[in-house]
Structure 1
Amino acid sequence: MTKSILITGGARSGKSTLAERLALSLGPTAIYIATAEPRDAEMADRIARHQARRGGEWTTLAEPLALAQALRDSDGQAPRLVDCLTLWLSNLMLAGQDWEAAVQELADLLPRLASPVVLVTNEVGSGIVPDNALARAFRDAAGLTNQRIATACDELWLCVAGHPLKVKPQ
Structure 2
Amino acid sequence: MRLIRGRDPGPLAAPGALPLPGRPRRGRPFRVLVLGGARSGKSVTAERLLGNRDQVDYIACGPRADDGDPDWAERVRLHRERRPAHWTTLETLDLEAVLTGRDLSAARQRVPVLIDCLSTWLAGVMDESGLWAGVEGADKELSGRVDGLLDAWRSTTRLMVAVSNEVGLGVVPPTASGVRYRDELGRLNAQVAAECEQVWLCTAGIARRLR
User: TM-score, with normalisation over the residues of structure 1?
Assistant: 0.89
* Count of residues in Structure 1 that have an aligned counterpart in Structure 2: 166
Mapped to 2, the partners of 1:91 and 1:10 lie a distance apart of: 19
Unaligned residue ranges in structure 1 (runs of 5+): none
Cα RMSD over matched residues? 1.7
Report what 2:45 is aligned to: 18
For 1:83, the aligned partner's letter is D
Report what 2:188 is aligned to: 145
For 2:49, the aligned partner's letter is L
Higher strand share: 1
Alignment of 1:1-170 (within 5 A): 1-2=23-24, 3-25=30-52, 27-38=53-64, 40-63=69-92, 65-73=93-101, 76-96=109-129, 98-168=141-211
Secondary structure of 1:82's counterpart equals strand
Mapped to 2, the partners of 1:151 and 1:118 lie a distance apart of: 14
Higher helix share: 1
- Which is further off, 40-49 or 2-11? 40-49
Identity of matched residues, %: 37
- Which is further off, 89-98 or 155-164? 89-98
- Which is further off, 116-125 or 47-56? 47-56
Give yes or no for contact 1:7–1:159 (8 Å, CA) kept in 2.
yes
Bigger-Rg structure (1/2) = 2
Secondary structure of 2:51's counterpart equals helix
1:127 positional shift? 1.3
User: TM-score, with normalisation over the residues of structure 2?
Assistant: 0.73
For 1:7, the aligned partner's letter is V
1:112 positional shift? 2.3
